[in-house]
Structure 1
Amino acid sequence: MAIDELLDEHEQSERVREWLRRNGSALILGIALGLAAIGGWQWWQRHQANQQSQAAGDYQAAVDAIQANDKSAAGKVQALPEGIFRTLAQLELAKSQVKASQNEAAIGTLRAIRTSDQALTAIVNERLARVLIDAKQADAALKLVATGDSLATLEVRGDAQLALGQREQARDSYNKALLKAEVGTPQRRLLELKLTEAGGTPPKTESQS
């Protein structure tokens, strides 16, 4: 090997050592931070998984209490953290309260639900509107379902309008709902009965013609 090549290698080695002397602590810190970030992310994932598992267990305990008519059910639901599990448990609790003719309690449970999910919000509003109609508060129910064009929303809107004596508007809502209902289903037959009650005539289907 030529002398100049040896000098080049020596010079390069010196440069590397010098660079390490100047930047070694920063390099070590960077590696440590990188390892900490990886470890932190793994810890966070485990933490989240554990929280979800705990929330799922608490949700199931709340549902079991609801189905068993346990007096502690409402407290178990209230103790759940904000999120999908609490919303589902609140819906289940409200359903059981309606079944037990505890309409005011069901109204309170449904009004306490907080969710940013639009689909869940629509379900909550529809169920709350139904309970409000049964509680002779159709005007409040109508405000909850004043917008939206899903079959369920249109049906509940028609129910509220009919309860308020708005028969023409109710017929319009039921007719729009019928356009979305499958022929031959129990839901469609119920809508046809409601439309008849509102003074309308159900449209004939192919099977009826």
Structure 2
Amino acid sequence: MAIDELLDEHEQSRRVQEWLRRNGGGLIGGVALGLAAVAGWKYWQQHQAQASMREADTFQTAMDSVDRDGAKAAPAVNGLPAGTYRSLAALRLAKSQADLNDSAAAIATLRGSMPQDTTLRPIFERRIAQLQIQSGKAQDALASLTANDGPTLDLRGDAQFALGQVDAARESYRKALALTDVGSPQRKLIELKYTQVGGTPAPSQTP
């Protein structure tokens, strides 16, 4: 090997050592931060998994309490943190309360656990409206319904019919039919109600 090549290698080695002396602390710190970030991420994931398991266990305990104690399980359900689990448990509790003809308690339960989820919220609104119609408060039921899907429009028609608003009910049932699949079990019932208020389902609407 030529002497100049040896000198070049020596010079390169010296430069590397100098660079490490100048930047070694930062390099080690960066590696340490990276390792800490990875460890923190894994800890967070584990913490979230454990928290989810605890929520699921608490939810199941509340559901078991409703199945066992019925309406007396209200404290267990109301003690759940706000979210999907509480909403689902509230639906079960409200049913137990309604079965005891305590519509006021059932409505309060549903309102107290009203979800923000766009899928669950209309279900709560319809259940509240059903209870209000059954309690002779059809006007309140109309105010409770905000969605424009088929089941909601169907129920809106029921409330309007209960109030003697036949023309409005007919229009609601017509719109509900337009949004209800031909093969839906609910469709026949909507058609019957639509006919009852003077509507005539189009041939293409009839399964």
Same fold (TM over 0.5): yes
User: Residue 138 of structure 2 contacts residue 162 of structure 2 at CA under 8 Å; is this kept in 1?
Assistant: yes
Structure 1: stretches of 5+ with no match in the other structure: none
Match of 1:158 in 2: 157
Q: CA-to-partner distance for each residue in 1:153-182, whole Å, 9 max, x for gaps?
A: 111111111122211100111122233445
Match of 1:112 in 2: 112
Q: CA deviation at 1:96?
A: 2.0
Tell me: CA distance 1:52–1:93, structure 2 relative to 1, closer, same or farther (3 Å): same
Match of 2:98 in 1: 98
CA distance in structure 2 between the aligned counterparts of 1:19 and 1:114, rounded to whole angstroms: 62
Name the SS of the counterpart of 1:119 in structure 2: coil
Which stretch of structure 1 is more off in the superposition, 177-186 or 66-75?
Answer: 177-186
Matched, 1:80 2:75: no
CA distance in structure 1 between the aligned counterparts of 2:141 and 2:182, rounded to whole angstroms: 28
User: Residue 90 of structure 2 contacts residue 109 of structure 2 at CA under 8 Å; is this kept in 1?
Assistant: yes
Runs of 4+ in 1 over 3 A off after TM superposition: 179-186, 204-209
Match of 1:195 in 2: 194
CA distance in structure 2 between the aligned counterparts of 1:127 and 1:96, rounded to whole angstroms: 13
Match of 1:167 in 2: 166
Tell me: CA distance 1:75–1:107, structure 2 relative to 1, closer, same or farther (3 Å): same
CA distance in structure 2 between the aligned counterparts of 1:175 and 1:189, rounded to whole angstroms: 13
CA distance in structure 1 between the aligned counterparts of 2:185 and 2:201, rounded to whole angstroms: 16
Tell me: CA distance 1:141–1:64, structure 2 relative to 1, closer, same or farther (3 Å): same
User: Residue 146 of structure 1 contacts residue 157 of structure 1 at CA under 8 Å; is this kept in 2?
Assistant: no
User: Residue 71 of structure 2 contacts residue 93 of structure 2 at CA under 8 Å; is this kept in 1?
Assistant: no
Structure 2: stretches of 5+ with no match in the other structure: none
Q: CA deviation at 1:190?
A: 2.6
Could you say what the CA RMSD is over the residues aligned between the two structures, in angstroms? Answer: 2.4
User: Residue 70 of structure 2 contacts residue 97 of structure 2 at CA under 8 Å; is this kept in 1?
Assistant: no
Match of 1:38 in 2: 38
Q: CA-to-partner distance for each residue in 1:74-129, whole Å, 9 max, x for gaps?
A: 12212222221111111221122222211111111111124331111111111111
CA distance in structure 2 between the aligned counterparts of 1:168 and 1:189, rounded to whole angstroms: 20
User: Residue 70 of structure 2 contacts residue 96 of structure 2 at CA under 8 Å; is this kept in 1?
Assistant: no
> When the two structures are superposed, what TM-score results if normalisation uses the length of structure 2?
0.88
CA distance in structure 2 between the aligned counterparts of 1:203 and 1:107, rounded to whole angstroms: 34
Match of 1:28 in 2: 28
> When the two structures are superposed, what TM-score results if normalisation uses the length of structure 1?
0.87
Tell me: CA distance 1:182–1:19, structure 2 relative to 1, closer, same or farther (3 Å): closer
The code of the aligned residue for 1:187 comes to Q
